[in-house]
A and B are shown apart, each in its own frame.
Chain A
Amino acid sequence: MSFGPFLLLALMEGMVTSAVLALAAVGLSLVFGIMRVVNVAHGEFFMLGAVSAWFVSQWVPGPPAVAFAAALVLCPLFVGAIAALADMTVLKRLNYEPEATIVATIGLLYILQQAALSFYGPDARPVPAPFSFRVQLPWFGYSGYKMAVVLASALVLLGVWRLLAKSRVGLIMRATQYDRETARAFGINVDRVYAGVFALGGGLAALAAVLIVPIQQAHYLMGTEPLLLSFIVVIIGGLGSLRGTVIAALLIGLSDGVISTFFAPTLAKIVATLAVALVLVFRPQGLFGRRAL
């Protein structure tokens, strides 16, 4: 294959990676930005989204598109509810202390993973894509669904940005992030905000998973990779910065696509990890993060 089409394919693959990465990482970033909680169980929310999408695809009759639409709505709600429950029953009791919440979310990771193993089983199961058409380019074919994933992800991110920047809910969230005590003094129910943010973070991870599952299949161990990549993205972008997260996701996704297509996927992971190390050394707050007080 000649250079041009080769690059095109690399960029298309990179865009898909970026899109999913941005969705998954934005939840992690939000939770850290507002709650100061490093959620190690974030990858398992992603996995739960994919697994629950499989259940929905089994239960909802009719064409795959109907089941997929149902999964897009139901799975984030379901995972968000679990996340809210985890927040209220576990994280709140720990007063959101950084060390304690890390250990607690590690525990949550194992509970969710083993629960999926018990109730869903150890197999990788496919979820049918809502539509399957292939774009046949002169040099290679490409899945039309993958292109739709990029579009859907962009729309969702736009929605999240609007929610945070333009809505009353977003105002309350930002107020809580800025100063928890003052927000409380102004009558904001901080407990509810926290539960809501944690649910939103989990729901976004689940949404990313529902989008990706027709490409990848649902499996109980699938949460590890998105967790690592999400951490890489939020560290580079700056924890808590939405804009930074999206830009870092584009950066990591596209470089992953290009490097792994032209050289080797392992090299792409090495470069990403190196980038994290360099950012931590020279700009610990991330590219767009604010310096911690």
Chain B
Amino acid sequence: MTSRLIGKTPSRRSVLTGMAAGAGALAVPSFFPGYTHAQSSEPIRLGFQLHRTGIGASYGRWYERTATAALNVLNEAGGINGRPVEILFEDDGTDPARGAEVFGKLATQSNCDLVFGALFSHVVVGTAPRAAELKVPYLVCSEGHHVASGMLNRWTLQPGITDVKSQVQSMAPWVTQNLGKKVTMIFPDYAFGHDHRDFFTAAVAAQGGEVIKHIAIPPTETSFTRYFPQIPSDTEVLYHVMVGPAVLTFVKELGEFYGSGDRPQIFGFIDSLEAVDIASPGLEFLEGTHFWEGHPRYKQADASEHEVFYRAAVGVDDNGASVTDPADIATYAHMFSTWETLFVIKAAMEAAGYQGPADRQKLVEAIEAMTDFAESREHPQGAKTFNGKTHQAFGHQSISQVQGGKLIRVHQTSLEDGYYPDEVDYTTQSF
């Protein structure tokens, strides 16, 4: 029985007939160009690699809200090329292996035109090779220097947020001139933290300062007091950047450690406090300390109309919390990147005359051709330039001080402060 079903050798005639039918079917659309046009009223499907669970969950929650808000604005204004846009969110568990799987699922099973939204650098580094294999554009929001360093590939771009190298280099002069020249750094012991270590150390040295101690902390660490005695007593500035679910513990224990005694100036990346209320008990010692912010959490006195519009659209109040729950603090300094990336996608698709997956290469080329983004509703964080060769955006950074329990911007860097020589030219690489 089985042998009869599968064992029959096909005759020469049946094979030829089948081949002819197949070739005919493939050829048909080209005879009816109108058909492909009709297809293009289909919605554009964008995949979003979301850190919904795992150590990046608090970012994921707000990235989803921000991207959804941007999507509503986009669709109300007519979508992209007149086509409606959909975003498919898929949880990657903030895990590199899962990230690559999610990318494959979004690109092949869900037929997304591209994938965007990943923040954590280990996920980005783990996923990017898959983007090159599948030849699907991958627009990351990760801050890591791995895009501009040339470590990744032509299909991976970062148009929505600046990278760590640019951030720390642009702020180092202010830190050394206003806070002190002997710096101790505390950072997470993986790619993102290493970017901080390498580039801030170099940037401080260029300013005539010195990083006298590096303290690397494993990203899964839950207790921090034991690291603090390593801070040399002649430290003038303590530079901290932490990520993950234990950030509140980190800042609290830092406060306990110094207590009411002498302490150095403290300059932190807001990452150490993203999604955490500055008014939490135990954080009083932060008063007067400084933070980097990609985008000021508290609405500043000079906020632009675009910033006000963006804040309202996402549903964030003047203190950086959800309008429906004041205890739900946003990851405000980073999440603008998903909003801005979506509007870069819109501009690029329209410039490329994007029709469908066959135009993915044209889409990458269209982004590479971009040079600057004006401050606007599409770019509420501020004006940016884009380097098509290194696939990296450059923007303004804010240094804020905790004053009366709120973060008030005391300095904003210029675009030029963050420029550095190109380390790669992706446009010379093949697709």
Contact = CB atoms under 8 A, between A and B. Distances in A.
Contact of A123 (B57, B220, B229, B253): B57
Given A215-B223, A216-B222, A122 B229 contact: no
A265 B221 contact: yes
B226 interface: yes
Interface in A192-225: 215-217, 219, 221-222, 225
Interface string A126-140: 101000101010001
Interface in A95-121: 117, 121
A81 interface: no
Contact of B246 (A1, A124, A141): A124
A120 to B, nearest CB: 11
Given A124-B248, A257-B226, A142 B256 contact: yes
B261 A140 contact: yes
A9 B256 contact: no
Interface string B256-270: 111111000000000
A261 B249 contact: no
Contact of A136 (B220, B225, B229, B259): B259
| Max chain A Cβ within 10 angstroms of own Cβ: one of B52, B61, B282 | B282
Category for how many chain B residues contact A: 20 to 34
A178 interface: no
A134 B285 CA distance: 12
A222 B221 CA distance: 11
A13 interface: yes
B357 interface: no
A140 B53 contact: no
Contacts of B261: 136, 140-141
Interface in B175-232: 218, 220-223, 225-229
B54 interface: yes
A10 interface: yes
A276 B221 CA distance: 21
A225 B54 CA distance: 15
Nearest to A224: B220
B226 A122 contact: no
B421 interface: no
Contact of B245 (A124, A134, A140): A124
Contacts of B222: 216, 222, 225
Category for how many chain A residues contact B: 20 to 34
A219 B222 CA distance: 11
Given A124-B246, A265-B221, A6 B259 contact: no
Contact of B61 (A5, A123, A217): A123
Contacts of B225: 9, 13, 142
Contact of B54 (A1, A122, A260, A265): A122
B249 to A, nearest CB: 6
Contacts of A167: none
A122 B246 contact: no
| Max chain B Cβ within 10 angstroms of own Cβ: one of A9, A124, A136, A140 | A124
A17 B225 CA distance: 12
B430 interface: no
Given A10-B226, A134-B260, A142-B257, 11 more contacts: A9-B225, A9-B229, A121-B57, A122-B57, A124-B245, A136-B261, A140-B258, A142-B259, A215-B223, A221-B55, A260-B226
12 contacts: A17-B223, A123-B245, A124-B245, A126-B248, A132-B282, A143-B253, A143-B256, A215-B223, A215-B249, A216-B249, A221-B245, A265-B221
